[in-house]
Structure 1
Amino acid sequence: MTELSPRYNWTREEIADLYTLPLDSLMAKALGVKQANWPDGKVQKSQLLSIKTGGCAENCGYCSQSAHFDTGLEASKLTPLEDVVSAARRAKENGADRFCMGAAWRSLKQRDVPKVAAMIEAVKAEGLETCVTLGMLEEGQAEALKSAGLDYYNHNLDTSPEYYGSVVTTRTYDDRLETLGKARTAGLKLCCGGILGMGESREDRIGLIHELSKLTPHPESVPVNMLVPIEGTPLGQSPAISVIEMARAIAVCRIVFPKSWVRLSAGREGMTEEGQALCLLAGANSIFVGDRLLTTDNPELDEDDALMGQMGMEAAGRSEMEAPARRVTLLES
């Protein structure tokens, strides 16, 4: 008998063994881990706002906001502070407990730090948990964001190191790890995951989870995204990944990251209710709500309410969900 807690010595082979289990066995293990660490029937709602859209100098092959590709998206300037606050208030009214702000930048420019810090302070004052994704960070910037009240910094690894060059070439895997290190050193929590369905192999999905497992401590938030194909991007014609494969990845993440939020992120708009339910049953305990995720569609609020109602689940705040779950021990396999 053993309590389930984070491990930092996962091997790629161990993760592969989990990933390839019969689906019922894998989901049973994931459910056991979830029940040991998180309350039953509770889902956190997060909302994401693009505070600066388009014109990014990076060439991420999945992204409509890259200046390298013609996707028909017009670049915009930084959103005014009052508009950000209004969006945060609406998110809270609609049950969101966490508010994320994303800017299409290669890296955060020093001149924009005070503006973003003001947004963080204002959203925090509304009683919401805060997260930003602003590209790469320079020295001292993470500390400035932390001082403004930032809780999480999002910077995804996207995929395995081996497949990474097929996704983006304007920054390296080590660049991403360096930014994560700066955020962690400043005392920020990490939101770090990846995207499935970009033409990668199952081995690459296993490799992504293994790379995340080597971060010490683990990211407190692990978003699992399904590629939303964008016309005009290099990866826009990638073969669709199945929802069952998504559920496998989520279940493995729940087992490998027992204390982390596993967030069912982009791609829900293209899933059936049954597909979304499968991903929640596999161990996801947070979803993004609102009709947009940066530049892609997301299910309407009434659709989410209907889904959770059918599943007998309800939205809950982070304080309730992060409270110690009932002590459950499981037999070691």
Structure 2
Amino acid sequence: MTENGPKADIRTDWDLEEIKAIYYKPVLELIVEAANVHKQYQATGEVQVCTLLSVKTGGCPEDCAYCPQAARYHTEVEVHKLLSQEQVLASARRAKEGGSTRFCMGAAWREVRDNRDFDKVLDMVQGVNELGLEVCCTLGMVNEYQAERLKEAGLYAYNHNLDTSEENYSNIITTRTYGDRLDTLDNVRKAGISVCSGGIIGLGETDEDRIGMLYTLSTLEQHPESVPVNALVPVKGTPLENQPRVSVWEMVRMIATARILMPKTMVRLSAGREQMDVTEQALCFLAGANSIFTGEKLLTTPNPDFDQDKAMFALLGLSPRKSFKEETQPEVV
């Protein structure tokens, strides 16, 4: 029992109608409920600060309709081969000095291949881990053996977003299946790596699609430890370049619903934050977001820099979550 009433259950047996009932609540009522759940399971005022670096940019064979790194689209993204370990470690040190406690490395690959580039990434993982940062990677699809190698190198978390609902998936991506995505999450989980998986809103999907994605995430055998909620940043040259900007209320509704469905999960306010003022971001934190990416870029799109975020944290009374904080903390009462 907490000061907010009976503690919310951790459930993986949600049904679609229950999730719809939560998602469609009046938005202020939804925020209050999510804030109460957040207070029961998380240290309020504490936000995980992450930095994302593109270690291999562009030239991807996939056809993700939102992504400027797809080789088939004519965007302004310049193709860069895999960075050196020295470059990556220098970025990781800067991120740590800027207040980040998690460092994520992204490579524009369809899938991991057992070659020299993967060996180099494993060395990067080990090097960043030795700096005392939680290391996360997003490298495309991985099999069980590759996930085990990443774990052995010191990988803490692996990001592989579902992007949208299973029903809408083929409208956004045709070069892999929803099942492929889920298989990768399963392989990561089996290796004992923390799972990071969320999606993007503003792709032209319906509310039913957003609910469907949350349904899939919240009914996995174990909830992802991290769920990024991204607002599409339309990029010229991609099929979704003319999509309208997602409103803050749509972001709040997604974040709040995710918080209620997955109380222990870190819900990350991710892409699209550059277009939000501090008031809009504060609404997202109130609704249950407790993780952000900081630094000047999210792979290839703009993002608020460290100094802006430091000022926002001071204004809102937020503090960075420590690295490697145990998931099983004493209950917040």
Q: Specify if TM > 0.5.
A: yes
Distance 1:258 1:131, change over 3 A: same
Q: 1:128-174 CA distances to partner (integer Å, 9 max, x unpaired)?
A: 00110000113410110010010111100000011111111000100
With structure 2 as the length reference, what TM-score do the two structures score? 0.95
Q: 1:88-132 CA distances to partner (integer Å, 9 max, x unpaired)?
A: 011000100000000000011110221111000000000000110
User: 2:159 pairs with 119, 142, 154, which one?
Assistant: 154
Provide the aligned C-alpha RMSD in A.
1.3
Aligned-pair identity in percent equals 52
Give the counterpart letter for 2:18 in structure 1.
E
Q: Does 1:124 align with 2:129?
A: yes
Q: 1:174-208 CA distances to partner (integer Å, 9 max, x unpaired)?
A: 01111111111111111000001111111111111
Q: 1:273-312 CA distances to partner (integer Å, 9 max, x unpaired)?
A: 1111111111000110000110000012221122222212
User: 1:218 pairs with 215, 223, 230, which one?
Assistant: 223
Which residue matches 2:52?
48
Which residue matches 2:148?
143
Runs of 4+ in structure 1 displaced over 2 angstroms? Answer: 1-5, 318-328
Which residue matches 1:240?
245
Distance 1:310 1:325, change over 3 A: farther
SS at match of 1:140: helix
Question: Are the aligned partners of 1:45 and 1:288 in contact in 2 as well (CA < 8 Å)?
Answer: yes
User: 1:82 pairs with 61, 80, 86, which one?
Assistant: 86
Between the aligned partners of 1:311 and 1:93, the Cα distance in structure 2 is 21
Q: Any gaps of 5 or more consecutive residues in structure 1? A: 329-333
Which residue matches 1:32?
36
Q: Any gaps of 5 or more consecutive residues in structure 2? A: none
Give the counterpart letter for 1:175 in structure 2.
D
Distance 1:174 1:320, change over 3 A: closer
1:228 positional shift: 0.5
Q: Does 1:95 align with 2:118?
A: no
Q: How many residues of Structure 1 are paired with residues of Structure 2 in the alignment? A: 328
Question: Are the aligned partners of 1:113 and 1:144 in contact in 2 as well (CA < 8 Å)?
Answer: no
Give the counterpart letter for 1:7 in structure 2.
R
Which residue matches 2:270?
265
Give the counterpart letter for 1:309 in structure 2.
A
Which residue matches 2:24?
20
**More moved, 98-107 vs 233-242:** 233-242
1:44 positional shift: 1.2
